[in-house]
């Protein structure tokens, strides 16, 4: 059976900027594959290269080296006309909304349709439908200055959907919003993905955004991809140093574990409310010290992790680990998380 072709593929992508202080490598040999229908998160700290990466995906930034393929097409081989046409299948939403302040909500959504040559009557009808889709059917004639941040972002999403894109690129699209509004925008994006089958790429520095909506994630650090996988894989077994730091959101201090034998227990939905620790203490007749605990919701499931300090006696420690694994929990020792 022939392997599915990724809708977006980056192959050895480099992006170098020349500044007065010399060359700056924003991307350094990035390889990435994103498949149709995924909600793909790209997460990293400020300056890691996230925004440069997303601008290379739609060729607003031309890579210094490497290839960007969209739906099988090498964007570097397209003419200017072909590239403009292809970009209609890759819409983008931004942190600061980028709405035209002198235009109403409906007129903002009509704007890309006007550029595409769609007749005015058809464009207005399409804009009305999209504003209803994002929950703003009663705001057709409102100007951006009359709307909240969440409403402005909903207009931006409706505008991005106007040309029936295959991919929606979101560059820190919720960073300027409060937590409640962020949740409503994430819910809307997930609904769009499920109903319309649009692939969504989310650029963010917030792990909670990835956990709440994404199916897959790439962690970028120092201009390189440090780790990729499903959200569940990265959450349960972070392999990279930066991945481990992101999974531990409170910056768990290493000194808590220095010289200690500890294990990390992952609860993956079905076992999240299982009183495993209490049962283990009763069954094994050993005390443990809970060093860290955290519960989240990932892909509509209760997810959590706990780090416990094991008894000094190795036999008792092995007994604890064996008991927890027999309860179908993911258990791993955490020696690698400290220097």
Per-residue pLDDT reduced to its tens digit, 64-100: 999 999 999 999 999 999 998 898 899 998 888 888 8
| The pLDDT value given to residue 161 | 92
Please, are residues 221 and 18 in contact by the beta-carbon 8 Å criterion? no
CATH topology of domain 8-243: Rossmann fold (3.40.50)
Residue 230 has pLDDT above 70, yes or no: yes
Q: Which CATH architecture has domain 248-337?
A: 2-Layer Sandwich (3.30)
- Residue 21 tokens read as 């202080």
Which residue intervals of the chain are DSSP H helices?
50-57, 80-87, 105-115, 120-133, 149-161, 179-196, 207-213, 231-236, 241-247, 276-284, 314-326
Residue 267 has pLDDT above 80, yes or no: no
Which pTM value belongs to this model? 0.75
Per-residue pLDDT reduced to its tens digit, 302-324: 677 888 888 877 888 888 888 88
- How many CA atoms does the CB half-sphere of 97 hold within 13 Å? 22
Per-domain residue ranges of the chain: 8-243, 248-337
């Amino acid at each position: 059976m022939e392997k599915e072709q990724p809708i977006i593929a980056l192959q050895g992508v480099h992006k170098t900027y020349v500044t007065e202080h010399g060359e700056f490598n924003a991307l350094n040999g990035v390889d990435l594959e994103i498949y149709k229908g995924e909600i793909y998160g790209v997460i990293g700290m400020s300056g890691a290269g996230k925004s440069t990466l997303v601008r290379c995906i739609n060729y607003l930034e031309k890579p210094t080296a490497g290839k960007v393929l969209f739906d099988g097409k090498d964007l570097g081989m397209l003419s200017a006309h072909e590239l403009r046409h292809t970009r209609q299948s890759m819409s983008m939403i931004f942190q600061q909304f980028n709405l035209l302040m002198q235009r109403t909500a409906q007129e903002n959504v009509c704007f890309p349709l006007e550029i595409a040559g769609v007749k005015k009557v058809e464009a207005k009808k399409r804009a009305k439908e999209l504003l209803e889709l994002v929950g703003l059917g009663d705001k057709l004639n409102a100007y951006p200055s009359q709307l909240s941040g969440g409403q402005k972002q909903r207009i931006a999403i409706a505008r991005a959907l106007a040309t029936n894109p295959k991919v929606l690129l979101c560059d820190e699209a919720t960073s300027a919003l409060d937590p409640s509004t962020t949740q409503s925008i994430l819910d809307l994006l997930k609904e769009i993905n499920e109903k319309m089958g649009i692939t969504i790429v989310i650029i963010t520095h917030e792990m909670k955004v990835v956990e709440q909506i994404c199916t897959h994630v790439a962690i970028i650090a120092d201009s390189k991809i440090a780790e990729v996988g499903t959200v569940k894989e990265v959450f349960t077994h972070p392999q990279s140093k930066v991945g481990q730091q992101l999974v531990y959101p409170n910056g768990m201090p290493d000194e808590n574990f220095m010289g200690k034998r500890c294990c990390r227990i992952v609860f993956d939905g079905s076992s999240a409310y299982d009183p495993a620790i209490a049962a283990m203490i009763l069954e094994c007749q050993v005390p443990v010290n809970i060093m860290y605990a955290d519960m989240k919701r990932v892909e509509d499931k209760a997810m959590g992790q706990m780090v416990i300090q094991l008894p000094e006696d190795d036999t008792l420690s092995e007994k604890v680990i064996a008991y927890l694994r027999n309860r179908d929990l993911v258990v791993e020792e955490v020696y690698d998380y400290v220097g």
